[in-house]
Amino acid sequence: MKSMVILGSTGSIGTQALDVARLRNFTVKALTSNSNIDLLEKQIREFKPEIAAVADENRAAELRIKVADTDTKVLGGEEGICAAAQLDADKVLNSIVGIAGLKPTLAAIEAGNDIALANKETLVAGGELVTTRAKEKGVAILPVDSEHSAIFQSLQGSPGKQSVKRLILTASGGPFFGRTRDDLKDVTVEQALKHPNWSMGAKITIDSATMMNKGLELIEAAWLFDMPADKIDILVHRQSVVHSLVEYVDNSVIAQLGVPDMRVPIQYALTYPERYESPAKQLRLEDWKTLTFEQPDYDTFSCINLCRQAITKGGVYPAAANGANEAANKLFREGKIKFLDIADAVSGVLDSTEFLPCDSLENILLADSRAREKVHEMFGC
């Protein structure tokens, strides 16, 4: 592994991926953002990529002027980001947030680039299409999400799928663990943004508070590991030390452990199958003393089972659930709806969605936009 492209380089995962690139001396061929050009300019001056792409065309034009003294070519819009994904590179790390990451993932696959995937919405909304295209093109999709990296690591050396009984995803439980629905009626955005263990972008932090994140991860795991949803379980593990587990048919359970630090799964996705030193702290189990595991409260955190229903129904239901959540998550962050409205939005959209196969980008994007419209209609905003 020598060269990489980072999509979403200005975000939480993107900046940590640049820490790894710096440490491992990777050549960074392209960097992208949505609108943050100040940080992108700093990254351009340090990493000297061939291409920098900004989704917002006006901001791209501003950046073009700012970095006119460098050799970096600045592209704009979704096409610019897809062009970055298609550069000749050993890996494309996709750390864009939301369904905006789907087309760039497909573009990377078309170009035959292996992908380190943080953008879980790619697989939630477009799992069938993405995994089919990746197989056709012989493209590897390596998980960056910590739970999926843990499962991937725990599957190394496994004789095959027939030996796996179930996958167990761990969940921190988020800031509202132990609360009842009633307690959650009036929680604020600020409270929801206080994640106990991880520092992440705003959207995924809210997804962790609703536990929609775990539902999305269940769907992500189903596609990444080709497992039916009924063979994927969830356990709340407050300490975020055991990142996930694989139970084999002989009832042996293999897990991956470590202090919570995303630079470990990011680096593993980039250097697989090799392992190198990492900036993460060493795990000293004696310092933790007690690790706890328990069933999630599925009534309070109803998003988990809504996602389970969506993947079980198949077709574009997961894309609809994802679109509804993206829209509602944003409305909540803007102070326009309440915390519990997010789960109601996902549930309402799933009830009104009609089956369509998930084998074309058109169907996926149609389900996504219908879901968003429905959410805005539900809350009159």
Among 21, 30, 55, 264, the residue binding ligand NDP under the rule CB under 6 A is 55
Q: Cis ω on the peptide bond leading into residue 273 (within 30° of 0)?
A: yes
Residue 207 binds Mg ion (CB under 5 A): no
Among 4, 11, 172, 232, the residue binding ligand NDP under the rule CB under 6 A is 11
Site string for Mg ion, 135-174 (x = CB under 5 A): ----------xxx---------------------------
Query: In b/e form, how buried is each residue of 232-256, taking b as 16+ CB within 10 angstroms?
Result: bbbbbbbbbbbbbbbbbeeeeebbb
Residue 8 binds ligand NDP (CB under 6 A): yes
Cα separation of 3 and 27, whole Å? 5
Cα separation of 319 and 317, whole Å? 5
Instruction: Count the site residues for ligand NDP by CB under 6 A.
Output: 28
Nearer Cβ to ligand NDP (35/352): 35
Terminal alpha carbon distance of the chain: 47
Strand order in the sheet with 3-7: 73-76, 51-54, 27-33, 3-7, 91-94, 115-117, 141-143
Category of 40 on φ-ψ map: left (φ > 0), alpha (ψ -120 to 50) or beta: alpha
Minimum distance, C-beta of residue 237 to Mg ion, in the bound complex (Å): 12
CB contact at 8 A, 140 and 114 = yes
Residue 96 binds ligand NDP (CB under 6 A): yes
Residue 97 binds ligand NDP (CB under 6 A): yes
Among 43, 95, 172, 210, the residue binding ligand NDP under the rule CB under 6 A is 95
* Both structure tokens of 208: 């962790």
Site string for Mg ion, 102-141 (x = CB under 5 A): ----------------------------------------
Which residues, numbered 154-213, are part of the site for ligand NDP (CB under 6 A)?
A: 198, 200-201, 203-204
Residues that bind ligand NDP (CB under 6 A): 8-14, 33-36, 55, 81, 95-97, 100, 118-121, 145, 198, 200-201, 203-204, 262
